[in-house]
Amino acid sequence: MNARIWHIASNTFREAVRDRVLYNLIGFALLMSGAAILVGQVSIGIERLVVVNLGLTAVSLFGVVIAILVGIGLVSKEIDRRTLYTVLSRPVRRWEFIVGKFFGLAGTLVVNTFFMALGVFASLLYVSHHFQRSDGWLLVALYFIVLQFLIITALALLFSAFSTPVESAVLAFALFVVGSFAEDLRGFAAMAHGATKWLAIGAAYLVPNLSALNVISSVGHEQPVAAQLVIANTAYALLYAGMVLCGAVLIFEHRNLK
Amino acid sequence: MKPSLQVTRIASILLVLCIMVSSLVLRRVDRIRTGATLEEVLYITSPKVLKRLSLGYDGLLADVYWTRAVQYFGNKHYQGAQKYSLLAPLLDIATALDPHLVVAYEFGANFLAPKPPNGAGMPDRAIQLAEFGIRNNPNAWQLDYDLGFIYYMELKDYPKAAAAFAQGSKIPGAHPWLKLLAALMAEHAGDLETARLMWTTTYQTTNDRNVRANAAVHLRALQVDEDVTKLEKLVTQFREKAGHLPASFADLQAAGMIRGTPVDPLGHTYKLMPDGRVEVRVPDDLPFIQEGTPPGYRPPRPKFLPTD
């Protein structure tokens, strides 16, 4: 990573921290401790499972919300505050600005996920009194969640490069929802005929496939995750985020900022 | 600008007052709308629709529905309800959202199968649930055990119970008594000893304190049924020999038919009634007993969590 990208990324991270983005960790801590203590009293036999399901779901949803809400303002806020012109008047290329912003927000989300993961494991220790070998699969689920954040962050940044924050939020959230149904979309494409079939196939491959990145339920039941899936998901998420980032760079390069 | 101390004080007092009064008003609203709680409402009944709406976070939603099923059953059971109309749909949703939620099949089938007020009186739905669980969790021998248990206890269908136990016994890691239970079903299905073995297996194989407590209660009930039957048989033998009923257990003791005054599993002495019947001293403490209760006895509301 070149120095300019690194500076933009570290500034984005510092700005997110200054904007109290990490305050969500307090809410998360309350949620996890409440769940760990209360669920045993209101349900039967799912104390550990709830900690895993609730913990990982919260990590994922908190992160997606942060990725969208922060990501949509990454470019537009800089234009509104006119700080973008100062940055671009220095020897910083537009693509470096976009990539730096991406890494800055991705880094914020990784740090956020790290602390949330600590919370999940602490709650797990509280309800189970010990760790077991299969708890290691939770790390894989958390890794997949981070991959999911890369995709969502890239999408939020893409929309931020050409539209208003509200439009960007709507578009990014809509793609998150559609991405969760990506497998259904491919199933629909398989059943369709003619032009509809090709349109559906195109749409199915264009939207992010987020369902493959969700293994929360299976790791909750201590089921292992295949190494091939880890490799394939990593490749897919990096390629998809890279593709979206290229789109964002292309749009931003040609955008008239005057 | 400095914050006004007066405004801060008034706003703080008003805030606390509003919280307190709104809570009181809400309690009043709850009293007016008795029975209008979420308990009897299932807004979305289709597991498929719910799975879609969960956006992939179906595991957490399954936990929510399973907890709701537990709460629903617990409340109804405590009230001594005769109808559990939402129990089966709640369990269907929980298990469709997470087909590997073994605990929902294990407990759910045992919530559905027994006759009210101990359960929903839906053994057929319990069997459907257990079979769905077995299809999705072929290595969980406990589900085959539960299926056999329902056939044995609720439907008295011993061949099907034997088949379920035999199927479960083939799964690696299955409790060795499953084979024995399968064999017993074929020969001595209706015996008290078989029932005792069933509950003993449950007691020994479960990790859940509620299931263990429930098995202990049933084992105590079986012990009472056996004791009372034996004692009443001895009373009959005494009358045939002596020409009159014994006045107390001391008469049976003097005749060499028993050693000491017999006690129930909780340590209370049995009562010998003037008509020769034998009764337990505190029937409310011994749920599920078939023998030894006073004439016209009605058991109290069941406790959801019996103490072990």
Nearest residue, CB atoms, A54 vs list B60, B70, B208: B60
Rounded to the nearest 10°, the torsion over CA A43, A46, A47, A51 is: -120
CA–CA min distance A31, chain B (Å): 14
Q: What is the pLDDT of residues A197-219, one digit of tens each?
A: 888 888 888 899 898 899 999 99
Q: Assess contact for B278 and B232: CB atoms under 8 A.
A: yes
Q: Please state the rounded mean pLDDT for residues B197-211.
A: 77
CA distance A257 to B174: 70
Residue B239 near residue B276, CB atoms below 8 Å: yes
Q: Which residues of B touch A145 (CB under 8 A)?
A: none
User: Which two tokens mark A245?
Assistant: 């980032």
pLDDT digit string, tens, across residues B73-112 = 988 888 878 888 899 999 999 999 999 999 999 999 989 9
Residue carrying the six token digits 């403490």: B285
CA distances from residue A99 to A86, A167, A249, B1 in whole angstroms, order as listed: 17, 21, 8, 42
Domain borders along chain B are 40-214, 220-285
Whether B52 sits inside 8 A of A46 (CB atoms) is no
Contacts of B55 in chain A (CB under 8 A): 177, 180
Cα A106 to the chain's mean position, in Å?
Answer: 8
Chain A: nearest CA to B60, how far in angstroms?
5
Nearest chain B residue to A45 by CA distance is B103
Going by DSSP bridges, is the β-strand pair B271-272/B278-279 parallel, antiparallel, or unpaired?
Answer: antiparallel
Q: pLDDT value at position B308?
A: 41
Closest of B114, B129, B120, B33 to residue B76, by C-alpha: B120
Q: Looking at residue B278, what DSSP letter applies? A: E
CA B109, CA B145: separation in Å to the nearest integer?
A: 11
Domains in chain A: boundaries: 3-254
Query: Does B100 lie at the interface with A, CB-CB under 8 angstroms?
Result: yes
b/e map of A81-97 (b: 16 or more CB within 10 Å)?
eeebeebeeeebebbbb
ipTM (interface pTM): 0.79
Q: Do B57 and A61 touch (CB under 8 A)?
A: yes
- Cβ of B49 under 8 Å from any chain A Cβ? no
Q: How far apart are CA B178 and CA B172, in angstroms?
A: 12
Confidence of residue B304 (pLDDT cuts 50, 70, 90): very low
| Mutation site, A215, A217, A218, interface B, largest B CB count within 10 A | A217
Query: What residues of A are in contact with residue B106 (Cβ under 8 Å)?
Result: 45
The CA distance from B98 to B78, in Å, is 28
For the stretch B230-280, pLDDT in tens is: 999 999 999 998 888 898 888 888 888 888 889 999 999 999 999 989 999
- The answer, yes or no, to whether the previous bond of B47 is cis (omega within 30 of 0) is no
The pLDDT > 90 percentage for chain B reads 31
Kindly state the helix (H) or strand (E) to which residue B272 belongs, with its residue range.
strand B271-272
B140-143 long-range contacts, CB within 8 A, separation 24+: B140/B102, B140/B105, B140/B171, B141/B168, B141/B169, B141/B171, B141/B173, B141/B174, B141/B175, B141/B178, B142/B102, B142/B106, B142/B168, B142/B205, B143/B102, B143/B105, B143/B106, B143/B168
Tokens coding A7? 């500076």
Instruction: Name the residue in chain A with its Cα closest to that of B60.
Output: A53
Nearest to B71 among A42, A57, A221 (CB): A42
pLDDT at position B1: 60
Q: By CA distance, what is A39's nearest residue in B?
A: B67
Q: Is B63's CB within 8 Å of A53's CB? A: yes
Nearest to B274 by CA among B253, B302, B245, B254: B245
Measure the N-to-C terminal CA separation of chain A; round to a whole number of Å: 29
**What is the dotted CATH code of the domain comprising B40-214?**
1.25.40.10
Q: Which residues contact B86 (CB under 8 A, 6 or more apart)?
A: B39, B40, B42, B72
Residues 207-236 of B with CB under 8 A from A: 208, 210
pLDDT value of residue B94? 94
Average pLDDT over residues A24-36: 77
With an 8 Å Cβ cutoff, are B100 and A217 in contact? Answer: yes
Alpha-carbon distance of A193 to B184, in angstroms, equals 59
Say what the pLDDT of residue B300 is. Answer: 66
Which pLDDT value is given to residue A176? 92
Tokens 């990593």 locate to: A234
Q: Which residues pair with B269 in a beta bridge?
A: B263
Segment (H or E) for A53? helix A47-71
Q: Do B103 and A181 touch (CB under 8 A)?
A: no
Query: For chain B, where are the alpha helices, taking DSSP H only?
Result: 5-32, 47-53, 58-78, 87-97, 102-112, 123-136, 141-153, 158-169, 177-188, 192-205, 209-242, 249-254
Contact A54 B57 (CB under 8 A): no
> What does the mean pLDDT of chain A come to?
87
**Contact residues on chain A for B107, CB-CB shorter than 8 A:** 44-45
pLDDT of B2 = 67
* Distance to chain A for B53, nearest Cα, Å: 10
CA B70 to chain CA centroid, Å, is 12
Name which of B48, B61, B63, B110 to mutate to probe chain A: the one with the most chain A Cβ atoms within 10 A of its Cβ: B63
Torsion of CA A30, A36, A37, A42, to 10 degrees: 120
| Amino acid occupying residue A216 | I
Give the 3-state secondary structure of residue B95. helix
Structure-token pair, residue A251? 């749009």
Which residue has 């234009």 as its token pair? Answer: A79
pLDDT beyond 60 at B206: yes
> What value does the mean pLDDT take over residues A58-70?
90
Nearest by CB: A44 against B52, B55, B107: B107
Residue B186: pLDDT band with limits 50, 70, 90: low
Whether pLDDT at B306 is above 50? no
Name the DSSP class of B56. T
Contact between B264 and B222 (Cβ < 8 Å) = no
Helix axis angle, A47-71 to A24-42, nearest 10°: 160
Q: A53 burial class (0-12, 13-18, 19+ CB within 10 angstroms)?
A: buried
Residue in this structure with the two tokens 């469709």, named with its chain if needed: B96
